[in-house]
Amino acid sequence: MFRILRNLVRMAVIGRTVARHDALPTTLLGTAPGLLWLWRRIARRDVPGREGQRLARALAELGPTYIKLGQLLSTRSDLVGERMAVDLAELQDKLPPFPGAQARAIIEAEFGQPVQALFQSFDDKPVAAASIAQVHFAVTADGEEVAVKVLRPGIVAAFERDIDLFYWLAALAEAVVPRLRRLRLREVVDTFARTSRLEMDLRMEAAAASELAANFTEDPTFNVPKIDWERTAGRVLTLERIRGFKVDEPARISAAGFDRDEILAMASASFFNQVFRDGFFHADLHPGNLFINEQGTITAVDFGIMGRLDRETRYYLADMLIGFLTGDYRRVALVHFEAGYVPRHQSIEIFTQACRAIGEPLQNKPLNEISVGRLLAQLFAVTEQFEMETQPQLLLLQKSMLTAEGVGRLLNPNINMWELARPLIEEWMRENRGPEAQVLDDVVGALTTIRRLPALVREAERVTREVADGGVRLHPQTVRQMLVGWDRRRRSDRAALWVIAALLAVIALRLV
């Protein structure tokens, strides 16, 4: 009962805030005429801005959890539409700072010792304050200049209360407006809860930064601040202090003697390598998280939101993009069906036609005028009609691409990051999607099958023992069919071994 009362009170606060900003998407209300009628009588009608901009302002007023919710929705153009997703992506993750004394108390509670034992100096005035945490500059006992990120006090408990409300509202919305079930609102809440809980454990952010740094150990195009693990815990993250300029300060960058086109080339290469080479990318590369350090190298901060792409997804993405850029829409459609993204019962011919409608406007356009992020957004909007299941990792990538393209335009509006990354793209495609790569993939697949053979033999022996002991009773006809099947597989495995041997011989000859 207490939970229901608490949620009702919180709903009243949310409703009042959203009504004051006239921020409830009317596309959702259109599914329930009664609610639409009521909303038109309680919401203000003179609020300026687009629907998405009004919603962003309302979420910012509601507090940290709702700011994070807005950031999540900005990656779900399939739910809120492309225009609103773009508006929500501009939601400023800024809040008033909490007192430095509270930050000190959190640090001392995490490490069990006074701040003076950890730092020579600690600046009580934060340099940045966001929804989850704020950042203070400090100097360690060893004399190292660092930035200390401290989680907001009480944020975890407040978040859990809001998540409970979101689950309740999602279930209520699907019960009251059955047509909303297609949006899978409870799954959206699941994703939001999971990613936000990870983001509020600053050890996970430190681990993400460490992994990203390891990927660029031998790569000078991208820099990640060093993690001070001795001064990092669940609510405190300490990392190397970065000195330089924000990437959205082109005048200061030029005044420092750095070539903005070279920086843009490095940004393009680093983003491409994160996505395709490593399959692990910084998913929040807005200008506030990108700096040009004193050596003229791009440096990223804030590793709370990261994305991953497995090898198969990267292959899908590469094949799909090449299909669009070369006008091979049949290839684009086949990639979706082969990946299992579009159900087999859909018509590949009609889906090819839909892909053509997206790709034709790109033909004969110079590469510097093509936005890959916007291309993906249009594709995801169309694929919904073909029952394509939501791919969260691709939606996050699409948002990241739009953000990265925006950074590129800040540095030089006349050059597209994909044009600069083209040599890398072509090289990666030769190495990973060319004939030789396909042969190697086939060999790896065959070797994987061979490695599984002992396990299959052991399983067959186990079943045989159970049959002999009377533990499994089979009809004689079934036994004969099994024997025939095993004999066919034995012959097939022998053939597979010969194929592998031939492939290895071909590879050996090419390497000589």
The residues that are catalytic are: 284
- Distance, in Å, from the CA atom of 247 to the CA atom of 260, rounded to the nearest integer, reads 10
Place of tokens 């049959």: 467
Q: Alpha carbon of 397 to those of 82, 276, 307, 309, 392: distances in Å?
A: 14, 11, 7, 9, 9
Alpha helices, H only, 200-240 = 202-215
Question: 365, exposed or middle or buried, with CB in 10 Å at 0-12, 13-18, 19+?
Answer: exposed
Phi-psi region of 472 (alpha: psi -120 to 50; beta: other; left: phi over 0): beta
**Residue 508 to residue 114: CA distance in whole angstroms:** 63
**Among residues 405, 361, 399, which one has the least CA distance to residue 380?**
399
Q: Is 357 exposed, middle or buried (0-12, 13-18, 19+ CB in 10 A)?
A: exposed
Cα distance from N-terminal residue to C-terminal residue, the chain: 76
Q: Is the CA virtual torsion 251, 256, 262, 266 positive or negative? A: negative
Are 309 and 317 in contact by the 8 Å Cβ rule? The answer is yes
